[in-house]
Structure 1
Amino acid sequence: MRPELGGGARQPQPLHPGRPAPSDAHAVLTGVTRVFGSVVHALGPVDLELRRGEFFSIVGPSGCGKSTLLDVLAGLSAPSDGTITFEGKRVNGTVPDGVGVVFQEDASFPWLTVRDNIGFGLKRAGFRGAEAAERVRHAIDFMGLNDFADAYPSQLSGGMRQRVCIARTLVMRPRLVLLDEPFGALDQQTRLLMGDELLRLWRASGATVLLITHALDEAAMLSDRIGVMSSRPGRFIEIVETGWSRDRTSAIAADPAFGAITTRLWDTLRGESMKAMASQRRNGA
């Protein structure tokens, strides 16, 4: 029987050996819940420790509270109950310094060039002159956008516009990067290529990354650990350690363990969906 988190249960073991995970917690959620009004219990209680420098993904049924969890962790909304800390400091409805967020929607400004889009956050934060220019130049080069620095978003593909949005976040040098389905609107091939780019950025920056995704293969490829959430109110019912090395790429999709991980995730989600459907039938009877 698959172990579950909570109540002193044992965490699942890695499917194959990998690098040891760092032990220090970078962000911690303890007993976090989110209730909208007095009716919709969207999230929790949730307990989670994000390890410094890890890549953590979250999968779960639609409407289970994945994006709600990201919002409260980012400080975009306050939890109804429980505590959140980032680098030891309380997070409660205010975005802390050192946290960057990338959403699924194209958030580039159509009236600004790629260069000005990437530098927008720096300008608002008061960065000027040589330092700002060098940060933007480095981001443009690192993201492979040199030939499009003076282009406008309408002249770019969807994948390239998302690179601009990611670069605009990373140029601020966040220590915790939160990604809410950033590749959801892209085709499968582009998503795989963007996944490789994201892994390269993660290794280069040393940041802790949390990714929300519906794609099990994306979670399996990118992550050190994957949290599987229940139906609403969302809570973690399993956390899977992938055991991948830090220098992984999309080539790991050919590893037999990759299929084992995606199967394990699907089995957990399928079981959760069947339980939710059975509950709905009982309540409707």
Structure 2
Amino acid sequence: AGVRHAPDGLARAAFDRIGGYAGRRHGGPEQLRRNLARVVGTTREQVPDDLVADAMRSYARYWYEAFRLPAQDLAETAATVDVPAPDRARLDAALSRGKGVILSLPHTGNWDMAGVWLVQNRASFATVAERLRPESLFNRFVEYRESLGFEIFPLSGGEQPPFGQLAARLREGKIVCLLGERDLARHGVPVTFFGEKTRMPAGSARLAIETGAALLPVHHWFTDAPGSMIGCGEEIDVSVGVEAATQALADAFAANIAAHPADWHMLQPLWESDWTDRQRARIVGDA
């Protein structure tokens, strides 16, 4: 509550300092450095310290803005987000077909802020939320995102599996938004990402194939505070099948992340070569 109502300049500066400190202390988070090494095409030792610090400042900004969103005027907040005219046109063209639109994006910038722009300027949308423990934490998380205008389906433990519920929304001509660059489980599709093997969720491509909805890669990144931007890429061709469409989505993510590496908030192991023994055993066992 304190962050929500503190003076913006002071609170934002405090989070920026905390992020910068975390990014420089002992070279910053090790896994973040390893992940950024793939993005900039170097070794972990050669990743610029400034990039790691900027990435942690960006991550701190995400949390700062997430804490404050529920207390903000959402229309005014959405006005700080810029979407170039060609990107708006791609989104509107897809919506005009009436078959639904799937917006798939990586963990970049502030995906909640991107969602607020969408609700305020186009329409509400459906998405999924990973079930958290304890249940009270999950419920607060769902209430928070519903307060922003999002429709939330639990990824597990709900009355129905989310795939069917999302497909129903798409058949109504509505929008579904899904985070799409990390799925280290049996349903993940093997892809090459920045030249190395990993897995990404199949859900976006599967939904598009089953419902006829358009699948568009989306990217959100920060500009000078409090500004930010959303890019909406060309529609992914899903006629090639789930695997090839997911690889095309991975390629779109990679191009956008490479353009804005500091705003990619991936602090966990992503690539196969970084998997823990436990992750590898689970994935191989599931396969």
TM-score of the superposed pair, with normalisation by structure 1: 0.38
Bigger RCO of structures 1 and 2 (CA < 8 A, at least 6 apart): 1
Higher strand share: 1
Task: Compare the two structures and name the one with the higher helix fraction.
Answer: 2
